[in-house]
Every structure is written in C-alpha cells, then in structure tokens.
C-alpha cells in the first residue's frame, strides 16, 4: 500500500518520525544541502511567517508507516507561486512509482493553491554539465518532468554559477500545470527574486540583481520539448479550477442488509437512499471506493470481548431472527453470563439494538467507510463524508446500544490521533456518550457534544454539563445540553460555543458526528431546524477551516433528511472554501466571497502572543525589536492580568487574528491613556477595519474614564499613512521631537481630547 500523507506539524510521534525520515532522505540524497537547512524543517512547518513562505511536507508511506519518499513544497502567498524544494525517494526505493505519486500530489496541491509550480533541475547541456554520469542523471530527471509539461525557462541567466567556473548550475523549471498562460516578465522577476533571496539567504545582492534582470521575455518562454515526442504524450493531469469545493464521499452499500422489519424501527435503509438522492445531483461530492481495514482499528477503541461477542452473537442469530436483550444484570465484569442471548443484556444498554447477521456486516462496513474518509483527510483532502448506517456514537468501550454497534467516529478519531490532536464535535440530537466515554481520560482527543438534556432525551444517564473529563482528560470533554424546545438560533449559539472551545484546542483534524435528528418533525427529537438552519450549521463548522471528516449518525424524518443533509454540506463546503482561501490571502485585497464574520474580544489567550507577533510581522511595517515589544505586552497581560495596565481589542476572522489594538492608562496621570499599538493584517487593509478597531478601543477607554488619548509615531515618510490615520481619528499633533529615533527620524506625539462627541467614522486606515 502506498499512501501520500500531508504532514501537518510536529506534534505527534508519527509526524515527528515522518519529519525525521524526510530529513534522513534529504541528508542521504542531497549531499550538498547544508545541515542547518535540513534541521530547520520542523520549524519551517510550524512557523511560516518567520520564513516568509508556507511549507507543505508530503511523505510517501507504506502500510507500516515506513517512509518511502518525501516532497517539500514551498508556497509564497504574497507573490502567488509554489516552489518544489525537494522531491526524492528513500535510498533503495527507486522505481516503484513513488516519485511519480509524490510529484502528482504536489501538482494537485499547487493547483489547489491557485499557483503554478517552479523548481530547480540540474542541466542536461554538456557545456554546463561536463561529467557524463551526472549528466545522464540530469537527463532522466528533466525527461520525467517533461512528461508533465514542465520545462526549463530559457533565455535567462538563471543557470549562472554562483562561483565562477562551477559546474551543474540548475535550470529554473516551470510546470504550468496544464495551463497555456505563462507568467509575465514582471511576475517571473518577482518569483525569481523571492526564490533567490528567501531560499538562499547568503547570495550577494549583485548576483540576485543580475539574474532577475536577465528575465526579459514577456511572458517567459519554456524550452521546446526535448524528450517527449508529441505534445499529446504529456501527462497533463486533470484540469480543475482552484478552490473548487469537493467532498470525498464514502458510502456503505451493504447497509441495506441491515433492515430490522419490526414496527417503529426508524433506523432503516431508506435513510441513506433519501440522503443520496439529494447529494448525488449537487455536484459537491466525489465518490470514493470503500477500503477494507483490519479489526485492530475497532479493537483500539472497543473492548475485544465486546467486538468478539457482537460478531459471534450476530452470526449465531443468522439472517432470519434477531437477539434482543431481555435481562440487564447489575454489572459484574468478573462474572459475565454464559448464554449468548443473556449476554446481550451484559453488553447492550437498551432494547432496540438487535443482534443479527446483517447488523454485524453493516456495522463492520460502516467502520471501513469511516476509516476510508479519515484516510482521505490524512492525505490532504479538506472534507470527507462517511454516509453510513448503522450509526455509532452511542457505542462505548464495552457496550453498544442506541442503534449503534461500533463507534465509527471514535474509531476514525483514534486512527487520526496518531497524526495530530483531534476534536470530535457531535451535533446529533442525542448525547455522544460513546466518544465521551472512550476518550474521557485523554487530552489529545477533545470531545464536544451539543444535545437534548438527558432529563428528557436518550441516553438519559449521560450528557450533563459537569461531565468534563478525568485525569489527564480533565477539561477535554464539553457537554452542552439544551432545553426540550429551543429555536434554531439557540441551537446555533450552542454550536458556536462548542466551536470556540474547539478553536482554543486547535486540533489538526476535526471529526463531526452529524445527526440530522435536530430537524423539525424528527420522530426522535423535539427541535425545529429547517434546511436553511442546516446550511448555517454547515457553514459555521466549515469556516473553521479544519480538515474535517463528517460521519453520519442519526436523523429519522425521511421526508426532509436528504434536503437537510444537502444544505448542511453546501454550507460546509462554502465555509471551508472561504476559510481555506483566507489563510494564504496576502495577495492584493480582492474581496473573497462568503468570508467568515469578524469576531471581537478583549480577553487575551495564551496563543495570542504568537498570533499578535505574526500579525504585526505580516504588516511588514515593524522592526524585529518592535515585534518583540508587541509580543511582550501580551505576555505582560497574561502574567499580570489587568494590573499590567495593558488592555486589548482583538478582531478575528475564521481562525485568524486580523486586527488588534493595545491601550492602557498612563501611570501617574489622572485620566490620560496611551494607544500603544494598532495593527491590521495586510489582506484586511483598506476596508475600514483600522477605524473599527480604533473605535472599539476608544469606546473602551471612554468607559474606563479616559479624558485624553495619546499616540505617537515616526515623522519619516514611511509613516505618513499612520499620521494620516491618527488625524482622521480626530487626533491633533501635540509635539514633535526631532531626531528622536535617529538622524532625520523624529517622534510625533498626538493627542485626542475626549468630549461627548461620537467617534469619528471617516473611512481609513493603515497599520500603527
Ligand atoms: Zn440521535
């Protein structure tokens, strides 16, 4: 089995092992690469702003987590291109299609980012590569890439050796990814400058300038094909619009076997048929074949005896009849009863989850679907949906019930948890008691459930607010039980609370237990969500931007099941698309459709130190020392609370901090305040957000009794927009201290005397 996995970060042992394996391959296969460059890989993955590009690491693995190959893609969001830094198979792993699989995955990623792909490749020209053995290797590589339409850019001085007389200087190769639009001269020059300056920090400026200036063709010209005879032979891959929403869908076809004919048994095959009837025409989904996974995934979350019992009892019951529990013993784990039918009560928590042959087969295949969807997300697909029945979220470690046999969501979460922190969000009408119990003692899987209060809703004995986790898991389970009759808006508010908790946890992957039984008219629920409410729920969840696996749980009102599901996924895909776009949106401020709403807060959280530093850095306006100060003020606030004298207004969109202000009373004065910082992310500038942040900060200062607000900035030309901003906000220049920051760079002090007047709402801003 060959799997290409996108390594999100270095937080888990498996990911660290993947990164280390990648580093080992780099050392072995790229002997010229400085060790410091290889060592910084983990930091590069987690700290893109420092390096001014985003790094994406892909590892090719077999089923035993052995790394067979590696590719490292750099994405430069401000210029809008991707650069393939490294692609290599492990020593002795040549020729198994690993390189091609990695390269195709990288192309897919570059295309999804809306970019073309650049990389370096050693030359095949004998004048540049005199050693025949090396040249032969170079030819093989160029030939490989040419099959995809990737060829060197010609008529430039890119392949100028840095040290005169050096051999094998690389070409700059461009893979236009099947497009006929080649980059303009100006774009190519920006790309080349970025590659040379950010990647090779030590190159002399004169060299960089020489190479940049040598790009004269407009647009650039690619070398004529040299190895692939006809253009038709090139592998162009599937041409897809960047950012087009696609949800990987897996479905357990054999669920129809599981059909309990008893009157009132609402968990019926028609549920999936009615959902599929609405999903299929939506064009949102790409159906994936279901892979078969080993039982060990089930045994990783369920007691082996329960798994064995369900299989045995189901096969024993056969296809024609069912075993229902009829006696529930006071549990005594040391003395399980012998009789298979009596044992049902030992393992089951209710009387409506029968055991028969088809129930086992359907439940087993639902697990395969959930794991198939989880694996898609692991490979880098943003959204995947396992449309399964029977559901799973009521199955605990050692018990089953509530139409559930194996806990599909927990099994998927357990598999994913090897690769990063997992949050499970359960929005079924009924409490997700299974996940809660399974992960109750763990802090690497956060379980959150929004459901009907157990005082009136199944499973009655769990789902209370005060169940918050135990031991290392204390604080990692959140239950939000709601009243019997609530409005859709109240339901959304509760889901928003759940999402805030999840955001603080910052999971690598999100698993959603999707119950559609919160719908108006559901026979097992009492709430009133309609199609448009499901669309909003989906959007709220999608806007978080997490790699998300959705697993079908309940939902029994067949008439509206499909339309509600479709609306949920329309919202999910739209929200997710907007969130994913917003992350790299450092490019010029084109308005993005359906952007997440702004969220405001004044409370400071631990990760704000890094977020404020990133925001301030991203403006490109402040020195490293200033960035340190901005971060230090947040640290002060975190350690000393309001005694620090630093107060904040923070604006978030999706999961990103987009603007903030820091202010506070000036020591030794009666009612004078200082506006220490105000900064707006580049992609948010020019839309009045600076004015908005300032207005909120001023309102807070007024409330705290401020009569005068002071602000200062530099007198240099560079800060003219800042000075203009203060003036528009109603500040007046009060003093000018010449040469304060340096010769010719003075300090300008502004003050705004607060009267009863409303805040100036003139359009504005720039940072600081
Ligand atoms: Zn339910």
* Residue 317 alpha carbon to ligand 1 centre in Å: 26
Predicted local distance difference test score (pLDDT) of residue 190 = 94
CB-count burial class (<10 Å; 0-12, 13-18, 19+) for 346: buried
The predicted model gives 110-122 an average pLDDT of 90
* Whether the Cβ atoms of residue 127 and residue 160 lie closer than 8 Å to each other: no
Reported as a single tens digit per residue, the pLDDT across 728-738 is: 888 999 999 99
Task: Name, in order, each residue with C-beta under 8 angstroms of 167's C-beta and a sequence gap of 6 or more.
Answer: 128, 129, 130, 131, 161
Nearest by Cα to 394 from 452, 445, 435:
435
Where residue 682 falls among pLDDT bands split at 50, 70, 90?
confident
Quote the ligand 1 centre to 513 CA distance (angstroms): 10
Q: What is the DSSP letter of 589?
A: -
CA of 435 to the centre of ligand 1 (A): 14
Note the pLDDT tens digit of each residue in 558-613.
Answer: 999 999 999 999 999 988 877 766 543 333 233 334 467 778 888 888 788 888 99
pLDDT at 199 over 80: no
Check residue 763 and give its pLDDT.
Answer: 37
Helix axes 98-112, 132-146, angle to 10 degrees: 50
| CA gap 499, 425 in Å, rounded | 8
Angle of helix 304-317 relative to helix 357-378, nearest 10 degrees? 140
Tell me which of 109 and 426 has the higher pLDDT.
426
Q: Tokens 């024609």 belong to which residue?
A: 320
At 550, is the secondary structure helix, strand, or coil?
A: strand
**Span from the CA of 499 to the centroid of ligand 1 (angstroms):** 20
pLDDT greater at residue 622 or residue 595: 622
From the CA of 430, how far away is ligand 1's center (Å)? 4
* Locus of tokens 């790094």: 55
Residue 513 has pLDDT above 70, yes or no: yes
How many whole angstroms from 722 Cα to the centroid of ligand 1?
A: 55
What's the rounded mean pLDDT across residues 736-746? Answer: 89
Q: Round to whole Å and give the CA distance between 5 and 89.
A: 14
The confidence score (pLDDT) of residue 152 equals 96
**The predicted structure's pLDDT at residue 666:** 92
Within the chain, what is the greatest distance between any pair of CA atoms? 93
Q: What is the pLDDT of residue 231?
A: 47
Q: What is the mean pLDDT of the chain?
A: 86
Residue 760 has pLDDT above 50, yes or no: no
Peptide bond before residue 459 is cis, with ω within 30 degrees of 0: yes
In this prediction, residue 582 carries a pLDDT of 55
What DSSP letter does each residue of 269-326 carry, written as one string? THHHHHHHHHHGGGS-EEE-PPPP--THHHHTTS-HHHHHHHHHHHHHHTTT--B---
CA of 265 to the centre of ligand 1 (A): 13
Higher pLDDT, 718 or 635: 635
What span, in angstroms and rounded, lies between the C-alpha atoms of 101 and 71?
10
Contacts of 200 (CB under 8 A, 6+ apart): none
Lowest average pLDDT, out of 177-181, 430-434, 485-489, 698-702, goes to 177-181
Question: What integer pLDDT is reported at residue 581 of this predicted model?
Answer: 61
* Strand order across the beta sheet in which 151-152 lies: 3-7, 54-61, 67-76, 81-89, 117-121, 171-175, 151-152
pLDDT digits (tens, 9 = 90+) for 259-305: 777 766 788 888 999 999 999 888 889 899 999 999 999 999 999 99
Looking only at the bridges linking them, the beta strands covering 171-175 and 285-287 are unpaired
SS3 (DSSP) at 158: coil
Q: Average pLDDT of 114-134?
A: 92
What's the chain's length in residues?
768
pLDDT tens digits for 695-725? 889 989 988 899 999 999 888 887 888 888 8
What are 119's strand-pairing partners?
Answer: 84, 173
Active site residue 441: no
Contact 430/419 with Cβ under 8 angstroms?
Answer: no
Q: Which of 97-101, 478-482, 494-498 has the lowest mean pLDDT?
A: 97-101
Contact 222, 154 (CB under 8 A): yes
Question: Ligand 1 mean position to 565 CA, how many Å?
Answer: 14
- 370 C-alpha to center of ligand 1: Å? 18
Among 35-49, 388-402, 527-541, whose mean pLDDT is lowest?
35-49
Q: Is the pLDDT assigned to residue 97 strictly greater than 50?
A: yes
Distance, CA 400 to ligand 1 centroid (Å)? 14
Residue 235, pLDDT above cutoff 50: no
From the candidates 394, 431, 647, 692, which is the catalytic residue?
394
Q: Which two tokens stand for residue 410?
A: 């927990």
Expressed in angstroms and rounded, the spacing between residue 484 Cα and the centre of ligand 1 is: 14
Residue 385's pLDDT band (boundaries 50, 70, 90)? very high
Range scoring the smallest mean pLDDT among 173-182, 291-300, 463-472: 173-182
Alpha-carbon distance 395 to 399, whole Å? 6
Single out the residue of 660, 663, 641 nearest to residue 649, CA to CA.
660
Residue 326 phi/psi, 5-degree rounding, is -135, -5
pLDDT at 316: 84
Residue 497 has pLDDT above 90, yes or no: yes
How does DSSP assign 73-95, residue by residue? EEEETTTTEEEEEEEEEPTT-TT
Ligand 1 centroid – CA 727 distance (Å) = 57
3-class DSSP string for 471-506: HHHCCCEEEEEECCCCCHHHHHHHHHHHHHHHHHHC
Average pLDDT (304-324) is 86
Other beta carbons less than 10 A from residue 118's beta carbon: 24
Q: What is the DSSP string of 399-445?
A: -BBTTBSS-HHHHHHHHHGGGS-EEEEE-SSS--HHHHHHTTT-SSE
User: For residue 553, how far is its CA from the centre of ligand 1 (angstroms)?
Assistant: 7
Per-residue model confidence as pLDDT tens digits over 52-85: 788 889 999 887 778 889 999 998 888 889 999 9
pLDDT at 154 (0 to 100) = 94
Tell me, in angstroms, the distance from the centre of ligand 1 to residue 615's CA: 42
Q: 9, exposed or middle or buried, with CB in 10 Å at 0-12, 13-18, 19+?
A: middle
Residue 556 CA to ligand 1 centre (angstroms): 9
Neighbours of 670 (CB within 10 A): 9
pLDDT for 593 equals: 40
How close is the Cα of 326 to the center of ligand 1, in Å?
23
- Both tokens of residue 763? 């359009």
**Residue 519 carries which DSSP code?**
B
Alpha carbon of residue 207 to chain centroid: 38
Residue 133 class from Cβ within 10 Å (0-12 exposed, 13-18 middle, 19+ buried)? exposed
């Amino acid at each position: 089995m060959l799997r290409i996995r996108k390594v999100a970060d270095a937080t888990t042992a498996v990911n660290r092992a993947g990164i280390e394996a990648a580093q080992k391959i780099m050392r072995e296969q790229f002997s010229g690469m400085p060790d410091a460059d290889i060592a910084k890989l983990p930091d590069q993955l987690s700290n893109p702003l420092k390096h001014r590009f985003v790094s994406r690491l892909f590892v090719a693995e077999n089923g035993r987590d052995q790394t067979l190959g590696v590719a490292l893609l750099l994405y430069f969001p401000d210029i809008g291109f991707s650069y393939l830094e490294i692609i290599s198979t492990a020593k002795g792993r040549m020729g198994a299609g690993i390189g091609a699989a990695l390269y195709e995955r990288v192309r897919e990623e570059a295309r999804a980012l809306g970019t073309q792909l650049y990389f370096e490749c050693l030359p095949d020209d004998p004048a540049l590569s005199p050693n025949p053995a090396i040249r032969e290797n170079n030819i093989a590589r160029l030939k490989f890439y040419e099959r995809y339409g990737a060829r060197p850019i010609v008529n430039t001085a890119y392949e100028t050796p840095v040290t005169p007389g050096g051999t094998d200087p690389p070409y700059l190769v461009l893979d236009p990814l099947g497009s006929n639009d080649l980059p303009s001269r100006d774009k190519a020059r920006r790309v080349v400058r970025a590659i040379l300056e950010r990647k090779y920090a030590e190159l002399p400026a004169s060299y960089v300038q020489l190479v940049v200036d040598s790009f004269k063709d407009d647009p650039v010209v690619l070398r004529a094909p040299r190895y692939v005879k006809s253009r038709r032979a090139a592998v162009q891959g599937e041409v897809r619009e960047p950012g087009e929403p696609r949800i990987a869908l897996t479905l357990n076809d054999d669920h129809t076997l599981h059909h309990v004919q008893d009157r009132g048994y609402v968990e019926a095959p028609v549920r999936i048929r009615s959902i599929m009837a609405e999903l299929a025409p939506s064009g949102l989904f790409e159906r994936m074949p279901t892979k078969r996974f080993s039982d060990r995934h089930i045994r990783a979350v369920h007691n082996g005896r329960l798994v064995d019992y369900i299989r045995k009892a189901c096969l024993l019951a056969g296809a024609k009849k069912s075993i229902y529990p009829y006696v529930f013993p006071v549990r005594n784990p040391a003395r399980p009863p012998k009789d298979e039918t009596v044992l049902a009560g030992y393992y089951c928590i209710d009387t409506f989850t029968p055991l028969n042959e088809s129930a086992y087969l359907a439940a087993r295949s639902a697990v395969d679907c959930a794991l198939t969807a989880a694996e898609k997300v692991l490979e880098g697909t943003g959204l995947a949906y396992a449309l399964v029945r029977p559901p799973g979220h009521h199955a605990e470690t050692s018990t089953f019930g509530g139409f559930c046999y194996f806990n599909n969501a927990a099994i998927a979460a357990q598999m994913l948890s090897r690769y990063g922190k997992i949050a499970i969000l359960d929005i079924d009408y009924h409490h997700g008691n299974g996940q809660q119990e399974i992960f109750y003692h763990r802090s690497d899987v956060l379980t959150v459930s929004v459901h009907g209060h157990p005082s009136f809703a199944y499973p009655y004995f769990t789902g209370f607010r005060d169940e918050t986790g135990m031991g290392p898991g204390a604080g990692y389970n959140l239950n939000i039980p709601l009243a019997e009759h609530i409005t859709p808006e109240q339901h959304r508010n509760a889901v928003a609370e759940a999402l805030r908790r999840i955001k603080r946890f910052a999971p690598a992957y999100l698993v959603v237990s999707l119950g559609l039984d919160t719908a108006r008219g559901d026979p097992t629920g009492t709430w009133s969500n309609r199609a448009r409410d499901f669309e909003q729920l989906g959007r709220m969840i999608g806007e978080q931007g997490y790699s998300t696996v959705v697993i079908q749980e309940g939902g029994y009102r067949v008439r509206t099941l499909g339309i509600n599901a479709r609306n949920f996924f329309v919202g999910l895909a739209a929200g997710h698309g907007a969130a994913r776009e917003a992350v790299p949106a450092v490019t010029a401020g084109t308005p993005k459709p359906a952007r997440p709403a702004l969220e405001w807060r004044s409370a400071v959280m631990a990760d704000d130190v890094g977020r404020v530093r990133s925001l301030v850095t991203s403006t490109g306006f402040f020195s490293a020392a200033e960035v340190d100060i901005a971060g230090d003020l947040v640290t002060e606030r975190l350690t000393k609370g309001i005694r620090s004298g630093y107060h904040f207004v923070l604006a978030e969109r999706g999961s990103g901090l987009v603007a903030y202000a820091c202010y506070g009373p000036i020591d030794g004065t009666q009612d004078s305040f200082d506006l220490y910082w105000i900064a707006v992310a580049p992609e948010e500038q020019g839309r009045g957000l600076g004015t908005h942040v300032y207005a909120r900060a001023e309102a807070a200062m007024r409330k705290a009794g401020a009569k005068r607000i002071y602000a200062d900035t530099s007198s240099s030309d560079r800060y003219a927009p800042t000075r203009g901003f203060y003036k528009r906000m109603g500040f007046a220049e009060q003093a000018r201290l010449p040469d304060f920051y340096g010769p010719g760079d003075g300090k300008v002090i502004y003050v705004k005397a607060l009267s009863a007047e409303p805040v100036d709402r003139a359009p504005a801003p720039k940072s600081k």
